[in-house]
């Protein structure tokens, strides 16, 4: 039986597969298409220029995971060309106007040879026998000790069993294509349904030319068309690093239905707009066009029909929770806690799942109360390690408590301080339970120093709570942003900075109260050890 079945051969799935390969775990990667890369797609012009029809850029200043991976793989990159004048076509029958401002792409870089080079470099580390293309996932079944995945290929139905499954796909595609037994809980399903697939309903064109004539005119290649008849709304320079092989790229302004209506004449319309912007010498370029809205393994029915909303770079925390007792994980860029929808988000999601799998693999048999404990530790170190693991395990429970409190407040039609009261109540519950756990643990207090009324054990008691407190607040804010129920409560839906600061002060006060109580408990344990036998105070 496989240890891990990864479904989805985009960047998240492939990056995770590479990490598991490095760890020596047993895995297989399944992809519905007959190619890998997902939304990463580069094609070649007749001159050999790599043209990115999917993701094009990465930003080293804000995308450290992706930037580090590119460096680790030894891939060459170059700065996006932004030098020169930017054009704006405001009216269909007028000439474009020059506009000024800072560089449009803000330090963006591109990969030499196209973004597909990233996928190719990652796949090189994987055994070919572990990759299965042309496998469309139809059903996922929880069998109690493992999962069963049923795939459709061009010729047959294939069932695979694995200890765990990772679905590295946009959540809305799972709703469209995959059946779950048992069905996923309502909160998870709603989070999946509410998560827009980034760029799924968009279309992109890249047009190759014999030379970058716009650069000779002092133009950057960047342009915008904002009039009602605009065909390509945003245009950029897509030349190679030296500018010797020339191209312009652009994102279509037409909605999916309009692109379908004008499909026959679209090449002529796109060509005409490039000529209007940059001159007659750009007539008749070599067009490469990709309409992602027509890709059934990229764009869901909801993505095609729902107007694009405001993009949130933090996905709902409901999508990051292991399901079925850790046997099912949701992955893909749309589940990321940072840069959701972007390539950086895909790596973020892969790292999260890699850590979860590593924790499950490293957990010793017979761990107390479901908490892993290093069997080589003894005495106070063992108790502190167990307590730290217990605290870390409260992250999901605290967030569940927060959601329940929030839902109760909404059900009783409370309208004020919803997030504040729910976060405070959830973290206070964690602190109360922690005091009970701490009281039940055994410590050897004979050689534990007390200085100025503070036990020397307190720093280790306090340390694991920092991540839990921050995680709860981050998850609460992310959940609120993706919650339809809170959309009528703007102050809660997108908490302003001063409201968040108020919540932080509440958490700090509760934290101080817990710390004093925990220290008092440890001092009482120390007093009990020092108290002579048979003497009561």
Q: Which DSSP letter does residue 251 get?
A: E
Q: Do 339 and 315 belong together in one domain?
A: yes
Domain for residue 370, yes or no? no
CATH classification at residue 8: 3.50.50.60
Structural domain contains residue 179: yes
Domain of 205: which CATH number?
Answer: 3.90.660.10
> CB-based burial of residue 416 (10 Å sphere; 0-12 exposed, 13-18 middle, 19+ buried)?
exposed
Cα–Cα distance, 333 to 16 (Å, whole number):
12
Check whether residue 263 and residue 339 sit in a common domain: no
User: Same structural domain for residues 396 and 313?
Assistant: no
In this structure, the answer to whether residues 182 and 223 fall within a common structural domain is no
Integer Cα distance of 123 and 442 in angstroms: 50
- Tell me: do 497 and 403 sit in the same domain: yes
Say what the pTM is. 0.83
Regarding whether 219 and 253 lie in a shared domain, the answer is yes
**DSSP-assigned letter for residue 4:** E
Other C-beta atoms within 10 Å of 427: how many?
25
Pairing relation of β-strands 77-79 and 157-167? unpaired
> What domain range is 516 assigned to?
376-530
- Please check whether residue 368 lies inside any domain of the structure: no
Q: Are 220 and 237 in contact (CB under 8 A)?
A: yes
Say whether both 392 and 335 belong to one domain: no
139/259 same-domain check? no
Contact 132, 123 (CB under 8 A): no
Per the CB < 8 A criterion, the answer to whether 443 and 457 are in contact is yes
- Is 454 within the bounds of a domain? yes
Measure CA of the first residue to CA of the last residue in the chain; give whole Å: 61
Tens of pLDDT along the chain (537 residues)? 999 999 999 999 999 999 999 988 899 999 999 999 999 999 999 999 999 999 999 999 999 999 999 999 999 999 999 999 999 999 998 999 999 888 889 899 999 999 999 999 999 989 999 999 999 999 999 999 999 999 999 999 999 999 999 999 999 999 999 999 999 999 899 999 999 999 999 999 999 999 999 999 999 999 999 999 999 999 999 999 999 999 999 999 999 999 999 999 999 999 999 999 999 999 999 999 999 999 999 999 999 998 776 677 788 999 999 999 999 999 999 999 889 999 999 999 999 999 999 877 765 433 444 444 455 677 889 999 999 989 988 988 899 999 999 989 988 888 889 999 999 999 999 999 999 999 999 899 988 999 999 999 999 999 999 989 998 998 998 888 888 788 889 889 889 999 999 999 999 999 999 999 999 999 998 888 766 555 444
- Omega cis (within 30) before 182: yes
The three state secondary structure string of 441-478 is CCCCCCCCCEECCEECCHHHHHCCHHHHHHHHHHHHHH
Q: Is residue 535 part of a domain?
A: no
Closest listed residue to residue 5, CA positions, set 116, 125, 195, 139? 139
- Among 261, 294, 327, residue at a domain's last position: 294
Mark which of 294, 314, 342 sits at the end of a domain: 294
Do 106 and 129 reside in the same domain of the chain? no
Q: Please report the pLDDT score of residue 360 as a whole number.
A: 79
Query: What is the dihedral angle through the alpha carbons of 265, 271, 274, 276, rounded to the nearest 10 degrees?
Result: -70
Last residue of a domain, one of 268, 294, 320: 294
CA distance readout (Å), 496 to 19, 473, 481, 490: 38, 13, 12, 9
| Judgement on whether residues 309 and 171 belong to the same structural domain of the protein | yes
* Together in a domain, 138 and 242: no
Task: Indicate if 123 and 103 belong to the same structural domain.
Answer: no
Q: In the numeric block, which tokens belong to residue 223?
A: 């342009």
How many domains does the chain contain in total? 3
- Both tokens assigned to 272: 């005409």
In a domain, 26, yes or no: yes
Contact yes or no for 248/237 (Cβ under 8 A): yes
Has residue 230 been placed in a domain? Answer: yes
Contacts of 141 (CB under 8 A, 6+ apart): 147, 148, 149, 150, 180, 181
371 is a domain residue:
no
Instruction: Compute the distance between CA of residue 260 and CA of residue 126 in angstroms, rounded to an integer.
Output: 39
């Amino acid at each position: 039986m496989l240890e891990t079945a990864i479904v989805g051969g985009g960047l998240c799935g492939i990056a995770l597969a590479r990490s598991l390969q490095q760890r020596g775990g047993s895995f297989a990667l399944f992809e519905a298409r007959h190619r890998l890369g997902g939304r990463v797609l580069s094609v070649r012009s007749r001159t050999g220029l790599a043209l990115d029809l999917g993701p094009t850029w990465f930003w080293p200043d804000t995308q450290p995971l992706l930037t580090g991976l590119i460096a680790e793989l030894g891939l060459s990159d170059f700065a996006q060309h932004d030098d020169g004048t930017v054009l704006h076509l405001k009216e269909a029958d007028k000439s474009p106007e020059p506009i000024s401002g800072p560089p449009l792409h803000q330090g963006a870089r591109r990969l030499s040879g196209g973004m597909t080079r990233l996928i190719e470099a990652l796949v090189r580390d994987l055994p070919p026998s572990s990759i299965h293309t042309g496998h469309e996932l139809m059903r996922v079944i929880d069998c109690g000790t493992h999962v069963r995945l049923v795939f459709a290929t061009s010729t047959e139905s294939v069932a695979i069993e694995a200890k765990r499954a990772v679905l590295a796909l946009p959540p809305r595609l799972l709703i469209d294509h995959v059946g779950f037994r048992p069905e996923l809980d309502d909160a998870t399903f709603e989070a999946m349904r509410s998560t827009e697939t980034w760029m799924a309903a968009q279309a992109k064109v890249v047009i190759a030319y014999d030379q970058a004539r716009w650069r000779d005119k002092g133009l950057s290649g960047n342009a915008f068309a904002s009039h009602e008849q605009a065909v390509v709304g945003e245009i950029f320079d897509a030349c190679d690093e030296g500018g010797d092989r020339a191209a312009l790229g652009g994102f279509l302004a037409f909605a999916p239905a309009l692109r379908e209506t004008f499909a026959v004449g679209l090449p002529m319309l796109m060509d005409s707009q490039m000529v209007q912007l940059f001159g007659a010498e750009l007539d008749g370029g070599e067009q490469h066009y990709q309409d992602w809205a027509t890709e059934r393994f990229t764009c869901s029915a909801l993505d095609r029909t729902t107007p694009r909303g405001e993009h949130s770079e933090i996905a709902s925390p409901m999508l990051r929770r292991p399901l079925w007792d850790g046997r099912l994980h949701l992955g893909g860029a749309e589940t990321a806690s940072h840069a959701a929808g972007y390539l950086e988000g895909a790596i973020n999601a892969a790292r999260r799942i890699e850590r979860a799998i590593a924790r499950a693999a490293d957990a010793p048999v017979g761990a107390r109360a479901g908490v892993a404990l290093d069997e080589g530790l003894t005495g106070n170190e063992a108790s502190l390690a167990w307590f730290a693991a217990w605290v870390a395990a409260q992250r999901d429970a605290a967030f569940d408590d927060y959601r329940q409190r929030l839902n109760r407040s909404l059900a009783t039609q409370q309208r004020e301080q919803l997030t504040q009261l729910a976060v405070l109540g959830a973290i206070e519950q964690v602190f109360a339970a922690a005091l009970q756990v701490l009281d039940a643990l055994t410590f050897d207090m004979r050689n534990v120093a007390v200085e100025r009324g503070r036990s020397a054990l307190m720093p280790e008691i306090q340390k694991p709570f920092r991540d839990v407190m921050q995680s709860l607040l981050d998850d609460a804010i992310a959940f609120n942003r993706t919650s339809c129920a809170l959309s009528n409560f703007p102050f809660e839906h997108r908490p302003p900075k001063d409201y968040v600061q108020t919540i932080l002060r509440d958490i700090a006060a509760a934290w101080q109260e817990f710390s004093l109580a925990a220290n008092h408990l440890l001092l009482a344990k120390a007093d009990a050890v020092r108290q002579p036998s048979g003497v009561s105070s």
